[in-house]
Structure 1
Amino acid sequence: MCVVNQSLKMGKGKIAAQVGHASVQAFLNAGVTHPSEVEVWLASGQKKICLKTPEAKDFDALQKEARRLDVPTHLVHDAGHTQIPAGSQTVLALGPFDETVLDELTGHLKLL
């Protein structure tokens, strides 16, 4: 699951690239820290959902709650080569993890 920072006004291609970065890194990280969750995710169709948040400050609360629930996360900081300033928080990836827990964590967010 990926949460996109809407305040940056990224173009569609930029969002796609940032979601790609977040997804790959989250998968790699979870493979080390949560291998059983990754196995379940791989066997069940590898569901992917993109949500949005109006501001990067929301990432802090989401990450804190995710850590409390033992949900793996990865926050992408842009390199600053194209549309947005270097270091901008673009996408927060959550999981792979139990869908019920992810829904509890992100149920207040809207689909991208």
Structure 2
Amino acid sequence: MALVATYIVVITASLSLGYFTASADDSDSESEAGDVSALTTLDDCKLVLAVRTDLGMSTGKIAAQCSHATLACYKTLLSKNPTLLRRWARTGYLKSVVRCSDEDELLLLQAQAQSLNLCARSIQDAGRTQIAAGSTTVLGIAGPSILVEQVTEELSAF
């Protein structure tokens, strides 16, 4: 239980730090899926970060990768759908972190999110520390809560 609390604290701190730095680290690349420009909502919005558990990333590595995915989604919404971004801001930048078993599951989630025109940004590691270069580590999915939950409802919380 203490380990879960530590994960939550580290991930929350990293997400906050990532938001305030306002730029993604050049050591990772981002890939985008979905055309979020036409996505509108009257409902709450949220961000779900799907973290691959098969890579054996440390707590700090997970936090850094989640920060990159958060920034990638934020920047995408800022440029392609500022109305949705404002809606997400008004609802307190709701976000959660879930477990994803492997790359195949992550790619399936990305395809599902893209089919709903959600903001779906995946992060590939540069390979400078723990993970092989090009490994997809985290997928951020942002948009109306009801749609995001359609894609992520079966995943367990981190």
Fold similarity call, TM over 0.5:
yes
Alignment-derived partner of residue 75 in structure 1: 122
Higher relative contact order (CA 8 A, sep 6+): 1
1:86 aligns with 2:133: yes
Larger Rg, first or second structure (1 or 2):
2
- Of the candidates 70, 89, 98, which is equivalent to residue 42 of structure 1? 89
Where in structure 1 do 4 or more consecutive aligned residues deviate above 6 Å? none
Q: What amino acid maps onto 2:115 in structure 1?
A: R
**What corresponds to 1:19 in structure 2?**
66
Q: Give ranges in structure 1 of 5+ residues lacking alignment.
A: none
Structure 2 CA distance, aligned partners of 1:98 and 1:50?
A: 16
Percent identical pairs in the alignment equals 30
Once residues 93 and 87 of structure 2 are traced to their aligned partners in structure 1, the CA distance between those partners, rounded to angstroms, is: 9
Deviation for aligned residue 1:34 = 2.0
Instruction: Tell me if structure 2 keeps the 8 A contact 1:3–1:92.
Output: yes
Give TM-score, length-normalised by structure 2: 0.68
Structure 1 distance, partners of 2:108, 2:130, is 26
Aligned length: 111
CA RMSD of aligned residues (A): 0.8
Give the TM-score normalised by the residue count of structure 1.
0.95
Q: Which secondary structure does the structure 1 equivalent of 2:85 belong to?
A: helix
Unaligned 5+ runs, structure 2: 1-47
